[in-house]
Amino acid sequence: MRRHFDAYADINWGATEFIVRRDDPRWVLSKSDLLGSHRWYQGQSSSRQIAIGLARQANIAKVAAQFESILVRGLMHYSFRLPNGSPEFRYCVHESVEECNHMMMFQELIDRTGVDAHGVRLWLRLLSSALPHSATLAPNAFFFGVLAGEVPFDRTQADLLRTDDPIHPMVEQVVAIHLAEEARHIAFAHAYLSRNVRGMPRPNRFLLSLYVPLITRLLCNALLVPPRTFFAEFEIPRSVRREAFFSDPSSRRRLRDMYGDTRMLCEQVGLMNPVALLVWRACGIGGRPARYRGEPQRRNLGEDRQADSSAAGPLRTGGPANHQPSFGNVGNRVQVLRAEIPGRGTVHRHQQTGSGQAHHHAPQ
């Protein structure tokens, strides 16, 4: 792994455009957001939309940072037992470094918003110390849990960067970096599971087939649905909470579409038996598998917003099922891949040399 970002080198946190103002309309939630697309939210005053949007973005960042903390601890447990010469060791440690950078990046965003974000729900807080141990006890289950947590962020953030809605530049750059590096992390989880699940004993594989849809839906709710304190603070009706988060037809369809890649992986490794299919449907995340990893679900933004799907374009190039994502193919709005930072010239994504130093272009 030779390409990576640095949260404090590639983002100019001191830039004037990063200043957080409580009247900045760029904090209004995009229509790609589950709550932002709800008619109740769209009917609120501009100041109220901004306040809700600011709090939601901060809470999303907090949840992401807390999930990645669990992930890093799990990767450390897993890598601790790897034998000498294992290529997985280098990758797991490298991913952990990137996830730590993401945590710092998310926390910096939260602190600059001034929002006291609550983060994940209480049950996940209580289990956060135990969950990382599953990486050594049941590594296949752990890496499916990794996908269950990373895929919702990947899909919702990709949808955000596809929209034409104005986005605060601090959020845009943080999301762009996260998307670029998470693509590789998701690719590793897919590759790991593709290699290891097929060889499991049949009874274990059957139990895993039931576990996957359950943990996928459980973590989706835990990571995407704001805590009850959020709804109480802004006096958001319970009916809005239910409709926005997977009870109305539009949000249910978006929920199903989110996991096409995971369904494809499960089908490829033999986890889609008749009983498992029933569990997927019961969890509300059943549907056809993706044709290839990263296949865009254009109708999420196309039908709901009656937008021309061809105008947005996919964030990642299509390809065969085992396609490995191109690091730089993140979409037209990812300005952070080549951002003008005052005093440092044009900063491109880092490429490590043997000495570990990153390359930067000199100021023009």
The domain spans of the chain are: 3-351
pLDDT tens profile 173-208? 999 999 999 999 999 999 999 999 999 999 999 999
Q: What is the band of 313 on the pLDDT scale with cuts at 50, 70, 90?
A: very low
Q: Which pLDDT score, from 0 to 100, does residue 58 have?
A: 97
Q: What is the band of 3 on the pLDDT scale with cuts at 50, 70, 90?
A: low
Phi, psi dihedrals of residue 191, rounded to the nearest 5°: -65, -45
The angle formed by the CA atoms of residues 130, 263 and 162, to the nearest 5 degrees, is 95
- What does the alpha-carbon distance between residue 27 and residue 25 come to, in Å, rounded to a whole number? 5
**Considering the chain, what is the average pLDDT of its residues?**
83
Least confident residue range of 83-92, 223-232, 338-347: 338-347
Q: Which pLDDT score, from 0 to 100, does residue 325 have?
A: 33
335 vs 83 pLDDT, higher one:
83
Instruction: For the domain covering 3-351, report its CATH number.
Output: 1.10.620.20
Coil, strand or helix: which one is 4?
strand
Q: What is the band of 170 on the pLDDT scale with cuts at 50, 70, 90?
A: very high
pLDDT tens profile 32-65? 999 999 999 999 999 999 999 999 999 999 999 9
Instruction: Check: CB of residue 180 under 8 Å from CB of residue 48.
Output: no
Q: Is the pLDDT of residue 22 over 70?
A: yes
Tallying the residues shown for the chain, one arrives at 364
User: What is the bridge-based pairing of β-strands 338-341 and 345-348?
Assistant: antiparallel
The angle formed by the CA atoms of residues 292, 298 and 301, to the nearest 5 degrees, is 145
Coil, strand or helix: which one is 37?
coil
Q: Is the pLDDT of residue 364 over 50?
A: no
Q: Which pLDDT score, from 0 to 100, does residue 338 have?
A: 35
pLDDT tens profile 103-139? 999 999 999 999 999 999 999 999 999 999 999 999 9
Closest of 223, 117, 108 to residue 174, by C-alpha? 108
- What does the alpha-carbon distance between residue 114 and residue 75 come to, in Å, rounded to a whole number? 31
**What's the whole-number mean pLDDT along residues 3-27?**
90
Q: Which pLDDT score, from 0 to 100, does residue 6 have?
A: 85
Instruction: Check: CB of residue 64 under 8 Å from CB of residue 219.
Output: no
pLDDT tens profile 258-307? 999 999 999 999 999 999 999 999 999 999 998 887 776 655 444 444 43
What's the token pair of residue 169?
Answer: 């530049």
